[in-house]
Amino acid sequence: MAAEFAWTFGELEAVFAAVHGIDQTKRTAFQARLKNFHRLRYPIGFKAVKGKAATYTPLQVIDLALALEMTQLGLPPERAIWVLTANRWPALMAVRMAAAELYRHPTGFDCEKPRDDEPFSMFVYFDPASLSPLTLHLPAEVLPDMDLAANSFFYGGLGIVREEIANWTSGYVPRISMINVTAMIGLVAASPFDAESDEHFAYRQGFFLKLVEEAEAAFDDWDGCNDAEADYVSNLLERENITDATHLSDRANIPPERAARYIAEEAARKTRRAYDSHP
Protein backbone atom coordinates (compact mmCIF):
# COMPACT_ATOMS: atom_id res chain seq x y z
CA MET A 1 0.00 0.00 0.00
CA ALA A 2 2.84 2.43 0.85
CA ALA A 3 4.28 2.03 -2.66
CA GLU A 4 0.96 3.20 -4.07
CA PHE A 5 1.62 6.66 -2.63
CA ALA A 6 5.30 6.87 -3.62
CA TRP A 7 5.33 9.52 -6.35
CA THR A 8 8.02 9.83 -8.99
CA PHE A 9 9.48 13.22 -9.88
CA GLY A 10 7.45 13.22 -13.09
CA GLU A 11 4.20 12.63 -11.19
CA LEU A 12 5.05 15.27 -8.61
CA GLU A 13 6.03 17.86 -11.23
CA ALA A 14 2.89 17.22 -13.28
CA VAL A 15 0.62 17.71 -10.25
CA PHE A 16 2.42 20.84 -9.08
CA ALA A 17 2.39 22.27 -12.61
CA ALA A 18 -1.38 21.75 -12.79
CA VAL A 19 -1.98 23.23 -9.33
CA HIS A 20 0.07 26.34 -10.13
CA GLY A 21 -1.11 26.71 -13.72
CA ILE A 22 2.37 26.45 -15.23
CA ASP A 23 2.45 27.18 -18.96
CA GLN A 24 3.37 24.10 -21.02
CA THR A 25 6.25 25.97 -22.63
CA LYS A 26 7.69 26.80 -19.17
CA ARG A 27 7.63 23.27 -17.77
CA THR A 28 11.37 22.71 -18.20
CA ALA A 29 12.13 25.87 -16.23
CA PHE A 30 9.62 24.79 -13.58
CA GLN A 31 11.28 21.38 -13.30
CA ALA A 32 14.61 23.13 -12.75
CA ARG A 33 13.08 25.15 -9.91
CA LEU A 34 11.82 21.99 -8.23
CA LYS A 35 15.20 20.31 -8.61
CA ASN A 36 16.81 23.35 -7.02
CA PHE A 37 15.03 22.41 -3.79
CA HIS A 38 16.84 19.06 -3.94
CA ARG A 39 20.14 20.85 -4.38
CA LEU A 40 19.27 22.68 -1.16
CA ARG A 41 18.60 19.30 0.54
CA TYR A 42 14.84 19.65 0.64
CA PRO A 43 12.32 18.15 1.31
CA ILE A 44 13.49 16.78 4.65
CA GLY A 45 14.47 13.13 4.43
CA PHE A 46 14.51 13.03 0.62
CA LYS A 47 17.48 11.21 -0.90
CA ALA A 48 18.21 10.67 -4.57
CA VAL A 49 20.07 7.44 -5.31
CA LYS A 50 22.19 7.42 -8.46
CA GLY A 51 20.81 5.02 -11.05
CA LYS A 52 17.47 4.69 -9.29
CA ALA A 53 14.29 6.67 -9.89
CA ALA A 54 13.63 8.99 -6.96
CA THR A 55 10.29 8.70 -5.17
CA TYR A 56 8.52 10.95 -2.68
CA THR A 57 6.40 9.98 0.30
CA PRO A 58 3.18 11.95 0.97
CA LEU A 59 4.90 14.04 3.68
CA GLN A 60 7.78 14.89 1.34
CA VAL A 61 5.27 15.84 -1.36
CA ILE A 62 3.46 18.19 1.02
CA ASP A 63 6.69 19.60 2.47
CA LEU A 64 7.74 20.57 -1.03
CA ALA A 65 4.25 21.87 -1.85
CA LEU A 66 4.38 24.14 1.19
CA ALA A 67 7.83 25.44 0.30
CA LEU A 68 6.60 26.15 -3.23
CA GLU A 69 3.61 28.09 -1.86
CA MET A 70 5.99 30.21 0.19
CA THR A 71 7.97 31.08 -2.93
CA GLN A 72 4.65 32.19 -4.45
CA LEU A 73 4.45 34.64 -1.53
CA GLY A 74 7.85 36.11 -2.38
CA LEU A 75 10.35 34.12 -0.33
CA PRO A 76 13.35 32.77 -2.28
CA PRO A 77 13.78 28.98 -1.98
CA GLU A 78 16.70 29.23 0.47
CA ARG A 79 14.69 31.40 2.84
CA ALA A 80 11.49 29.35 2.49
CA ILE A 81 13.45 26.24 3.47
CA TRP A 82 15.03 28.02 6.43
CA VAL A 83 11.64 29.23 7.71
CA LEU A 84 10.03 25.79 7.38
CA THR A 85 13.01 24.00 8.92
CA ALA A 86 13.15 26.44 11.84
CA ASN A 87 9.40 25.94 12.31
CA ARG A 88 9.21 22.20 11.78
CA TRP A 89 6.98 21.67 14.82
CA PRO A 90 4.13 24.05 13.86
CA ALA A 91 4.40 23.06 10.19
CA LEU A 92 4.00 19.37 11.08
CA MET A 93 1.11 20.16 13.41
CA ALA A 94 -0.71 22.07 10.69
CA VAL A 95 -0.12 19.30 8.13
CA ARG A 96 -1.21 16.54 10.52
CA MET A 97 -4.42 18.32 11.54
CA ALA A 98 -5.29 19.29 7.97
CA ALA A 99 -4.67 15.75 6.68
CA ALA A 100 -6.79 14.23 9.46
CA GLU A 101 -9.63 16.58 8.55
CA LEU A 102 -9.34 15.72 4.87
CA TYR A 103 -9.38 12.01 5.71
CA ARG A 104 -12.83 12.61 7.21
CA HIS A 105 -13.86 14.79 4.24
CA PRO A 106 -11.94 13.38 1.23
CA THR A 107 -13.92 15.42 -1.30
CA GLY A 108 -12.22 18.55 -0.01
CA PHE A 109 -13.48 21.97 -1.08
CA ASP A 110 -15.81 22.88 -3.91
CA CYS A 111 -14.28 25.68 -5.97
CA GLU A 112 -17.70 26.92 -7.12
CA LYS A 113 -19.79 26.96 -3.94
CA PRO A 114 -19.35 25.90 -0.30
CA ARG A 115 -20.85 22.65 0.94
CA ASP A 116 -22.15 21.70 4.39
CA ASP A 117 -19.61 18.88 4.73
CA GLU A 118 -16.46 20.79 3.81
CA PRO A 119 -13.35 20.23 5.96
CA PHE A 120 -12.23 22.79 8.50
CA SER A 121 -9.39 24.95 7.23
CA MET A 122 -5.99 24.93 8.90
CA PHE A 123 -3.68 27.83 8.11
CA VAL A 124 -0.05 28.77 8.52
CA TYR A 125 0.67 32.48 8.58
CA PHE A 126 3.73 34.67 8.87
CA ASP A 127 5.24 38.02 8.00
CA PRO A 128 7.15 37.43 4.73
CA ALA A 129 9.32 40.52 5.33
CA SER A 130 10.57 40.32 1.75
CA LEU A 131 12.62 43.48 2.23
CA SER A 132 14.60 41.70 4.93
CA PRO A 133 17.85 41.64 2.86
CA LEU A 134 17.73 45.45 2.77
CA THR A 135 17.24 45.98 6.49
CA LEU A 136 19.89 46.69 9.09
CA HIS A 137 20.15 43.33 10.82
CA LEU A 138 22.40 40.50 9.68
CA PRO A 139 21.00 37.86 7.28
CA ALA A 140 19.29 34.71 8.57
CA GLU A 141 22.27 32.44 7.94
CA VAL A 142 24.39 34.69 10.17
CA LEU A 143 21.83 35.66 12.80
CA PRO A 144 18.80 33.38 12.30
CA ASP A 145 16.87 34.66 15.32
CA MET A 146 16.37 37.95 13.50
CA ASP A 147 14.49 36.44 10.54
CA LEU A 148 11.01 37.95 10.81
CA ALA A 149 9.37 35.28 8.66
CA ALA A 150 10.75 32.52 10.88
CA ASN A 151 9.90 34.32 14.12
CA SER A 152 6.33 35.13 13.08
CA PHE A 153 5.43 31.67 11.74
CA PHE A 154 2.30 30.28 13.43
CA TYR A 155 -0.61 27.98 12.62
CA GLY A 156 -4.31 28.00 13.47
CA GLY A 157 -7.81 27.28 12.32
CA LEU A 158 -10.35 29.64 10.81
CA GLY A 159 -11.73 30.64 14.23
CA ILE A 160 -8.28 31.74 15.39
CA VAL A 161 -7.70 33.69 12.18
CA ARG A 162 -11.05 35.48 12.51
CA GLU A 163 -10.38 36.38 16.14
CA GLU A 164 -6.77 37.48 15.82
CA ILE A 165 -6.15 38.88 12.33
CA ALA A 166 -6.79 42.48 13.41
CA ASN A 167 -4.36 42.09 16.32
CA TRP A 168 -1.69 40.50 14.13
CA THR A 169 -1.76 43.40 11.68
CA SER A 170 -2.24 46.38 14.00
CA GLY A 171 1.08 46.32 15.85
CA TYR A 172 4.56 46.94 14.49
CA VAL A 173 3.80 45.07 11.24
CA PRO A 174 0.58 45.85 9.29
CA ARG A 175 0.81 42.80 7.01
CA ILE A 176 0.58 39.03 7.04
CA SER A 177 0.86 36.16 4.55
CA MET A 178 -1.33 33.11 4.90
CA ILE A 179 -1.54 29.63 3.37
CA ASN A 180 -4.62 27.41 3.69
CA VAL A 181 -2.81 24.12 4.35
CA THR A 182 -6.03 22.09 4.14
CA ALA A 183 -6.88 23.51 0.71
CA MET A 184 -3.28 23.07 -0.46
CA ILE A 185 -3.18 19.39 0.53
CA GLY A 186 -6.59 18.81 -1.02
CA LEU A 187 -5.38 20.23 -4.34
CA VAL A 188 -2.09 18.35 -4.34
CA ALA A 189 -3.52 14.92 -3.43
CA ALA A 190 -4.36 14.08 -7.03
CA SER A 191 -5.35 10.49 -7.69
CA PRO A 192 -4.79 8.54 -10.92
CA PHE A 193 -8.50 7.57 -11.02
CA ASP A 194 -11.62 9.18 -12.42
CA ALA A 195 -12.74 12.01 -10.13
CA GLU A 196 -16.18 10.52 -9.52
CA SER A 197 -15.08 6.93 -8.95
CA ASP A 198 -14.91 5.07 -5.65
CA GLU A 199 -11.23 4.40 -6.35
CA HIS A 200 -10.58 8.15 -6.48
CA PHE A 201 -11.95 8.78 -2.99
CA ALA A 202 -10.28 5.64 -1.63
CA TYR A 203 -6.93 6.81 -2.99
CA ARG A 204 -7.33 10.29 -1.49
CA GLN A 205 -8.29 8.87 1.89
CA GLY A 206 -5.29 6.57 1.77
CA PHE A 207 -3.01 9.48 0.90
CA PHE A 208 -4.38 11.59 3.75
CA LEU A 209 -4.10 8.74 6.24
CA LYS A 210 -0.51 8.04 5.20
CA LEU A 211 0.24 11.75 5.59
CA VAL A 212 -1.15 11.74 9.14
CA GLU A 213 0.92 8.65 9.98
CA GLU A 214 4.11 10.18 8.58
CA ALA A 215 3.59 13.43 10.49
CA GLU A 216 3.00 11.52 13.74
CA ALA A 217 6.07 9.35 13.09
CA ALA A 218 8.13 12.50 12.53
CA PHE A 219 7.10 13.70 16.00
CA ASP A 220 7.82 10.32 17.59
CA ASP A 221 11.27 10.02 15.98
CA TRP A 222 12.29 13.61 16.76
CA ASP A 223 14.57 13.80 19.79
CA GLY A 224 14.04 17.55 20.09
CA CYS A 225 10.27 17.51 19.63
CA ASN A 226 9.48 18.56 23.21
CA ASP A 227 11.95 21.45 23.03
CA ALA A 228 10.50 22.53 19.68
CA GLU A 229 6.99 22.53 21.17
CA ALA A 230 8.17 24.56 24.16
CA ASP A 231 9.91 27.12 21.91
CA TYR A 232 6.81 27.44 19.73
CA VAL A 233 4.45 27.88 22.68
CA SER A 234 6.78 30.38 24.37
CA ASN A 235 6.88 32.45 21.19
CA LEU A 236 3.10 32.18 20.90
CA LEU A 237 2.55 33.35 24.49
CA GLU A 238 4.87 36.30 23.99
CA ARG A 239 3.29 37.32 20.70
CA GLU A 240 -0.40 36.86 21.56
CA ASN A 241 -0.28 37.33 25.35
CA ILE A 242 -2.45 34.28 26.10
CA THR A 243 -3.20 33.78 29.80
CA ASP A 244 -5.98 31.19 29.70
CA ALA A 245 -4.88 27.53 29.67
CA THR A 246 -7.98 26.34 27.82
CA HIS A 247 -7.45 28.91 25.10
CA LEU A 248 -3.79 27.95 24.77
CA SER A 249 -4.72 24.24 24.68
CA ASP A 250 -7.13 24.87 21.81
CA ARG A 251 -4.78 27.29 20.11
CA ALA A 252 -1.73 24.99 20.06
CA ASN A 253 -3.57 21.65 20.18
CA ILE A 254 -1.80 20.51 23.34
CA PRO A 255 -3.23 18.95 26.53
CA PRO A 256 -4.77 21.48 28.99
CA GLU A 257 -2.43 20.49 31.82
CA ARG A 258 0.61 21.13 29.63
CA ALA A 259 -0.85 24.44 28.52
CA ALA A 260 -1.30 25.47 32.16
CA ARG A 261 2.33 24.58 32.87
CA TYR A 262 3.57 26.67 29.94
CA ILE A 263 1.52 29.67 31.11
CA ALA A 264 2.88 29.35 34.65
CA GLU A 265 6.45 29.12 33.35
CA GLU A 266 5.95 32.18 31.14
CA ALA A 267 4.51 34.15 34.08
CA ALA A 268 7.54 33.18 36.18
CA ARG A 269 9.90 34.31 33.40
CA LYS A 270 8.14 37.68 33.17
CA THR A 271 8.40 38.10 36.94
CA ARG A 272 12.13 37.34 36.85
CA ARG A 273 12.70 39.75 33.97
CA ALA A 274 10.82 42.49 35.79
CA TYR A 275 12.82 41.84 38.97
CA ASP A 276 16.14 41.81 37.09
CA SER A 277 15.34 45.10 35.37
CA HIS A 278 15.19 46.93 38.70
CA PRO A 279 18.43 47.69 40.56
pLDDT of 279 reads: 60
* Beta-ladder partners of 50: none
**174-183 tens-digit pLDDT:** 999 999 999 9
With cut-offs at 50, 70 and 90, classify the pLDDT of residue 277: low
Q: Which of 16-25, 42-51, 75-84 has the lowest average pLDDT?
A: 42-51
Cβ 154 vs Cβ 239: under 8 Å: yes
Q: pLDDT tens, 49-84?
A: 777 788 999 999 999 999 999 999 999 999 999 999
Residues 64, 173: contact at Cβ < 8 Å? no
Q: For residue 106, what is the DSSP state?
A: T
- pLDDT tens for residues 218-234? 999 999 999 999 999 99
Q: How far apart are CA 21 and CA 165, in angstroms?
A: 29
pTM: 0.89
pLDDT at 261 over 70: yes
Average pLDDT score over the chain = 90
Give the residue, 277 or 193, on which the prediction is more confident: 193
